[in-house]
Amino acid sequence: MFKPKTPFLAVDGIVRLWDGKRFKGIVLIERHYEPYGFALPGGFVEVGERVENAVLREVKEETGLDAKIVKLLGVYSEPDRDPRFHVVSVVFVLDAEGTPKAGDDAKSVFISPLEQIPFDKMVFDHAKILGDYLRCL
């Protein structure tokens, strides 16, 4: 049987946390595994799973939040965006309310105001993704 060699498919979420109509910040995780650093919640799409369902599942697993997809930000496919292997990520903007709690691959979770995003400590290409998001505001 022919087994094609293709990139891995992942999803990432820019989760905007709200308290009613008050914007609290963007939810970031501190990664429990290498590469270490801060990241957007996300992970790999499972076989048979839609990317929309995958991002909602990953956000729930890593932050405990039930989020709602607002829009698709874009697809990020630079072959070296992940130091482990070639990963293509579909990135969504989501809204959520509540108190995030670290779970799954997240060592910790925190809420970052837009003006305090730790761009220099972000892993993968997540600093670029957040920069693209901020330019779209």
Mean pLDDT on 104-133: 95
Q: What is the pLDDT of residues 25-47, one digit of tens each?
A: 999 999 988 999 999 999 999 99
pLDDT at 7: 96
Residues 6+ apart with CB under 8 A from 72: 90, 91, 92, 93
The helix (run of H) or strand (run of E) holding residue 132 is helix 126-136
Q: Global pTM?
A: 0.94
Mean pLDDT on 90-102: 97
Q: Is the dihedral of CA 10, 90, 22, 128 positive or negative?
A: positive
Distance of alpha carbon 21 from the chain centroid? 23
